[in-house]
Amino acid sequence: MEWNHYLFCPGPVMVSDHVRQALLHPDMCHRVPAFEGIIRNVQRNLLTVYKTNEDYTVLLITGPGTASNETVISSYFTPEDEVLLINNRKFGDGLKSFFRFMKSKQRFCNSIGVSCPNLSISR
């Protein structure tokens, strides 16, 4: 049965027959050569999508969303940077812990509707 409407929200969701068929295959280990080939193909395709060439490197982060967040944060921020994190609970708590691990200067706001810290920078 083919569905005409798709839900893009946390599961369970209705998917097309094409996606359903793809899900019937067994999982592939990330350590097998076939998976490495898929990663290389995705990297090449991303170079094309972003209209660049092999002078650049595409780095794919395989892991939960938190892994990519921590990769970006640790690449962009230094301990000397001042960071404002508006905490939306679950994911915000994880980011708050990571910024503390980095020993960054932090200002936290626990959620919308709760008074946030004074944003003026005093030096």
CA distance 100 to 2: 48
Count, residues in the chain: 123
pTM of the model: 0.48
CA distance 86 to 115: 11
Instruction: Point out the least confidently predicted range of 26-40, 64-78, 108-122.
Output: 108-122
Q: Which residues contact 79 (CB under 8 A, 6 or more apart)?
A: 102, 103, 104, 105
* Position 51, amino acid: K
Answer yes or no: are the C-beta atoms of 99 and 123 closer than 8 Å. no
Span 16-32, average pLDDT: 84
Give per-residue pLDDT as tens, 51-110.
998 898 888 887 777 788 888 888 888 888 887 777 777 777 888 888 888 877 766 666
- With bands split at pLDDT 50, 70 and 90, how would you rate the model's confidence at 123? very low
Neighbours of 69 (CB within 10 A): 15
